[in-house]
Amino acid sequence: MVYEYLVGLAVSDDAVYTQYRAAMKPILSQYHGGFGYDFIVSEVLKSETSALINRVFTIHFPSKEASERFFSDEDYLQVKARYFDASVTHTTIISEYEKQI
C-alpha cells in the first residue's frame, strides 16, 4: 500500500518550478516518496475550483504519516519557500487515497 495525492497546480513560472522539483527530489527520496504521473494540461473541461490548473500529477509515500513528515520537513519547507512559492499561484488537492501497488 502507498498513500497518494492527486494534485492540480497553477504553475506561473515553469523554469522556477523545474528548479523546485530538482531541489525537492532528494528530500522526497529520503521519505521514500515519488511521482507517479505528471501532466502539463492545456485545457480543463470541468473543475470544482475556479483556480487555474495547468499541471496535474500524483505524488506517493509509503504512508500518510510519511507524507506528513515530508511536508513538514524543515529542509523541504526552505525549498518550498524559495522555489514553489515563487512559481505556483494555486494548489488544488484533487484527491488523496491509499492505493495498492
Q: How far apart are CA 27 and CA 72, in angstroms?
A: 11
Q: Which three cell numbers, joined as nine digits, stand for 70?
A: 515530508
- Write down the pLDDT at residue 87: 98
Q: How far apart are CA 79 and CA 43, in angstroms?
A: 29
Could you tell me the pLDDT band of residue 35, with boundaries at 50, 70 and 90?
very high
Name the residue range of residue 66's domain: 2-99
| Residue-wise pLDDT tens digits, 48-88 | 999 999 999 999 999 999 999 999 999 999 999 999 999 99
- Write down the pLDDT at residue 15: 98
pTM tops 0.85, yes or no = yes
Could you tell me the pLDDT band of residue 101, with boundaries at 50, 70 and 90?
confident
The domain that holds 25 is classified in CATH as: 3.30.70.100
Q: Are 80 and 24 in contact (CB under 8 A)?
A: yes
Sign of CA dihedral 73, 74, 79, 81: positive
Q: Which of 45, 30, 35, 46 is nearest to 7 (CA)?
A: 35
| Domains contained in the chain, number | 1
